Amino acid sequence: MERKYFGTDGIRGQVGEFPILPDFVLKLGWAAGKVLSSGRGGKVLIGKDTRISGYMFESALEAGLSAAGKDTLLLGPMPTPAIAYLTRTLRADAGIVISASHNPYEDNGIKFFSADGLKLPDAVELEIEATLELPMTMVPSRHLGKATRVKDAAGRYVEFCKSTFPRGMDLKGVKIVVDCANGATYQVAIDVFSELGAEVIAIGNQPNGLNINVNCGSTHPEALQQRVLKEQADLGIALDGDGDRLIMVDHQGNLVDGDEILYIIANYQHSQSRIAGVVGTLMSNLGLEQALARQGIALYRANVGDRYVIAAMLERNWLLGGESSGHIIALNHITTGDGIIAALQVLAAMISSGNSLQTLRSGMEKLPQVMINVAISGARQMSQHPELQQAVTHEEGRLQQRGRILLRPSGTEPLLRVMVEGEDAAEIHATAERLAELVRLLGKPL
């Protein structure tokens, strides 16, 4: 069944436009409380990032959950992976995150974790959507849920993050610039790295409700690159608004993206205890696949979206996966993407090997990649058009083994993404343009 409200990562949109309205979120809290309860009572965690609308939606969710008879534990501003971790350790029925991740403050969203700290299966999301269609009822007054604020939530998560760093190893003598995107990591990230001994220069750590992700964080790392050079730091760490993405900067100011981070961590883990494989996505650079293959490590490509990466990891019993955007999942430590923990794994690789970030990433050569977004109605159907498929087969023959082609309909916009990557930049640009032009000719441009 097609989902009505849930996208690839919860429910998200512009504040003030349906469904990101307080009355809908109130009922969503009630519906989630009904579906995610194993019986009367139980508790649900609520965390949020720093955008101003989080206060409003926190109150709405709390009221809806109370009406369903669920107690709530309020965590305040906390990274998304912290909610996943605390949901498990505090034995809650579910965790709810109020965040729109890397989007601007005008947007917000609601996403859920199960009692195991995992994203909800499609079937559970469909059940919540079905419950939303029912009239809202309320448990008897004596069974209404209560709300409690968890005062030590940040400290619990900081200690957990530090526990994922190898014992006997510290960050003394390492100078790091950390960009918190004026988001949910603005306190805990600084504490984690500094308590492990690093000299930390913090930027993007003054949230005001409106400046989350504004010219900072993993989607805008330019300020971080400049600051790393100015401070002559060993590296830079850029997190996104809710702390589940990581982009890094080496000591010369060069960006290190999710594919390169995944390669570095995979190599490090492989040197500690051999690993069979890593899960990437359809968008993972071919250079990552080639570099891993040289180390005897397989790459499996899942659909785009961290929930699909995690599902593939669980299916294969592999412990490492991620996306080019910087979602890195280390299942031996946590059940979802975690920017702080991923950064700690890279730092452990640096200290263990004695090499700089620049040296560690040099074993992977990214192949040129071109993406053309074609605005078109019926993008999913167009991706399967026989004439377009025939053209893709023809172009793949021209590329031979020097590249690959991917047609991917956007999950949120009326776009067909035409992606081509390969060894020859001019060749893949020409290939992408030919295919994009064919899409425009065959379809109905918007």
Identify the CA nearest to 362 among candidates 352, 371, 349: 349
Beta bridge partners of 114: 94
Measured CA to CA, the distance from residue 144 to residue 155 in angstroms comes to 29
Strands in 255-256's sheet, in edge-to-edge order, are: 199-203, 175-179, 235-239, 246-250, 255-256
| Tokens, residue 424 | 């020859």
Query: Per the residue annotation, which of 37, 53, 99, 101 is the catalytic one?
Result: 101
φ, ψ at 30 (rounded to 5°): -65, -50
Identify the CA nearest to 86 among candidates 212, 188, 195, 178: 188
Clarify whether 410 is annotated catalytic. Answer: no
Half-sphere exposure of 215 (CA within 13 A, CB side): 3
Pairing of strands 369-375, 415-422: antiparallel
Identify the CA nearest to 271 among candidates 310, 297, 298, 246: 297
Residue 10 is given by DSSP the state B
Is-contact 345 268, C-beta < 8 A? yes
Measured CA to CA, the distance from residue 127 to residue 113 in angstroms comes to 15
For CA atoms 94, 116, 259, 436, give the dihedral sign. Answer: negative
| Residues annotated catalytic, as ranges | 101
